A and B are shown apart, each in its own frame.
Chain A
């Protein structure tokens, strides 16, 4: 049997490819292996759960847009890029897109990662191969983004369709196409930040605190109504939160209200991404390679 040491040194050669380069002790340039794994796991997972990810915002849109929309009419004080009034559905649709990008990314990077870290012992197994910690972090985040991208495309498709049927267009400008990419940027920010936080948490109780912060953020970030109902200081606090930034970015794009502030919101997420990744890599190293 020629099982062992058959003269093929490929694993070693591959591992040494980045030898001596910067960060060789935590990055070997193979995050795609994680994505390959995720695709494999997807094959044997329940498709309905995967598909259901994009049902939730659609339900919200129907419940709030259709129901509340009838009582509310157009949202006072809000106009689109061409100066037309904005219906309640068109007002909340971008917020729901941003929120679902956040929720998906947070789920993938917190609960999912937490489980694999502490119960499945998956990372322990992976990190005893020649994979580095940054490979794992980038791979997991990359997978979360692929999913986020497909949900964003799905949701945008649905609102375009509903808009076409009801005549109440929720995407008011071609800039709206960029909303899909904005959703991915937002997901990236939340995923890398979420993963950094998860790496510090030790128990499910602590994980519950994440929800404890997410719920109020969801409720208060101008998702369902303009911030103007609150006193100024409350508004400033909310404006510092990532979900408000995300909603402003997506809403600006779908309604066609394009200005420089959008760049600022995008930059917010770039900072979140870089900071999150830095922390995550350091923490993973500490956790698994200590």
Chain B
């Protein structure tokens, strides 16, 4: 079997009047957790749909497990597990039935599916909900059910589009734990997210996308090292004074980003930078020193924040 699970060369998707994905190149290897990071509208979901073989590319090449999705959709989809951004569970069916019929869509034998469902319910911690209607489930449960459903065919590639958007912190951690276990089992994960912490938690390697293009590629640690400083100092002076103060302190740190409500000072030593500001006679309303994150990488690359 090939080691390259997904190969995209100059992959492009054009809708009538705009280009959603603009000539991107990447390769996903077996067993990897690969992330697509970017704000809404960056082209992540479109890329995902092309990989899922439910969207035809406009030009360029795309190979999934060595096959062309434009020609072999059903065959490729047999290898995939897809977790869409919005849960699309079958509202007319119960939890168990949802898993069962999904297995049947793949043509799996009834006996096999029934045995598999027990494993999946345990995995998703939904054993007690097997006869519940899907609308009675919480957001986190629905998400876990959608993931369990995507695993019914024992996919080689599991695709997750914004897997934790809209979930509360606890539900997110449960989900991350489950995804980690899948990765340990050797499932290749492809994940889109606009949450930096999620990308840092889950992804071995990621591409940062904006406006249909790839801005940077690497592991989370590499990206932070290459595009940001070790620490960041965030200071606030109130919306009226922000710009004025920024002008006076612009020499401090390696680099600064001035946002409407705060100033970010990039420096390997945040505390030292704060002392320098004090020394100039400025007293911020609030100040915070933190480690650099992918959010800062994105800000550096595009001049924009991710969640806006």
Report 22 cross-chain contacts, Cβ distance below 8 Å, ordered by A residue. Answer: A3-B182, A4-B151, A5-B156, A5-B186, A15-B75, A28-B107, A36-B101, A36-B104, A40-B93, A41-B93, A44-B133, A121-B88, A122-B88, A122-B90, A127-B54, A128-B54, A129-B78, A130-B75, A130-B107, A131-B105, A289-B54, A290-B55
Chain B residue numbers with a CB within 8 Å of A121 are 84, 86, 88
Determine whether B106 belongs to the interface, using a CB cutoff of 8 Å to chain A: yes
Q: Do B77 and A128 touch (CB < 8 A)? A: yes
Separation of A10 and B74 alpha carbons in the complex (Å): 14
Chain A residue numbers with a CB within 8 Å of B89 are 125
Determine whether A206 belongs to the interface, using a CB cutoff of 8 Å to chain B: no
Separation of A237 and B165 alpha carbons in the complex (Å): 56
Kindly supply a per-residue 1/0 record for chain A positions 1-44, scoring 1 wherever the CB is within 8 Å of any chain B CB and 0 otherwise: 11111101011101110110000111010100100110011001
Q: Whose C-beta in chain B lies nearest to the C-beta of A289?
A: B54
Determine whether A45 belongs to the interface, using a CB cutoff of 8 Å to chain B: yes
Determine whether A126 belongs to the interface, using a CB cutoff of 8 Å to chain B: yes
Interface size range on A against B: 35 or more
Decide: A5 near B154, CB < 8 A? Known: A14-B107, A130-B106, A289-B54. yes
Q: Whose C-beta in chain A lies nearest to the C-beta of B52?
A: A128
Interface size range on B against A: 35 or more
Separation of A40 and B96 alpha carbons in the complex (Å): 11
Instruction: Give the 5 A-B residue pairs with the shortest CB-CB distance, closest first.
Output: A15-B78, A121-B88, A11-B153, A14-B107, A41-B92
- Expressed in whole angstroms, the minimum distance between the Cβ of A196 and any Cβ of chain B is 21
Determine whether A174 belongs to the interface, using a CB cutoff of 8 Å to chain B: no
Chain B residue numbers with a CB within 8 Å of A129 are 77-78, 102, 105-106, 153
Q: Do A131 and B74 touch (CB < 8 A)? A: yes
Interface residues of A in 127-143 (CB under 8 A from B): 127-132
Chain B residue numbers with a CB within 8 Å of A6 are 154
**B71, B77, B187 — most chain A CB neighbours (10 Å):** B77
Determine whether B56 belongs to the interface, using a CB cutoff of 8 Å to chain A: yes
**SS class, residues of chain B in contact with chain A:** loop
Q: Whose C-beta in chain A lies nearest to the C-beta of B101?
A: A37
Interface residues of B in 70-99 (CB under 8 A from A): 71-75, 77-80, 82, 84, 86, 88-94, 97
Chain A residue numbers with a CB within 8 Å of B82 are 128
Q: Do B92 and A44 touch (CB < 8 A)? A: yes
Decide: A25 near B105, CB < 8 A? Known: A4-B151, A44-B93, A127-B54. no
Chain A residue numbers with a CB within 8 Å of B106 are 11, 14-15, 129-130
Chain A residue numbers with a CB within 8 Å of B71 are 25
**20 additional A-B residue pairs with CB within 8 Å, beyond A4-B154, A15-B74, A131-B74:** A2-B119, A3-B120, A3-B154, A3-B185, A4-B182, A11-B153, A11-B154, A12-B78, A15-B78, A16-B78, A19-B75, A37-B90, A41-B90, A45-B92, A120-B90, A124-B54, A125-B84, A128-B77, A130-B106, A132-B73
Separation of A190 and B77 alpha carbons in the complex (Å): 32
- Expressed in whole angstroms, the minimum distance between the Cβ of B38 and any Cβ of chain A is 22
Chain B residue numbers with a CB within 8 Å of A288 are 54
Separation of A114 and B163 alpha carbons in the complex (Å): 27
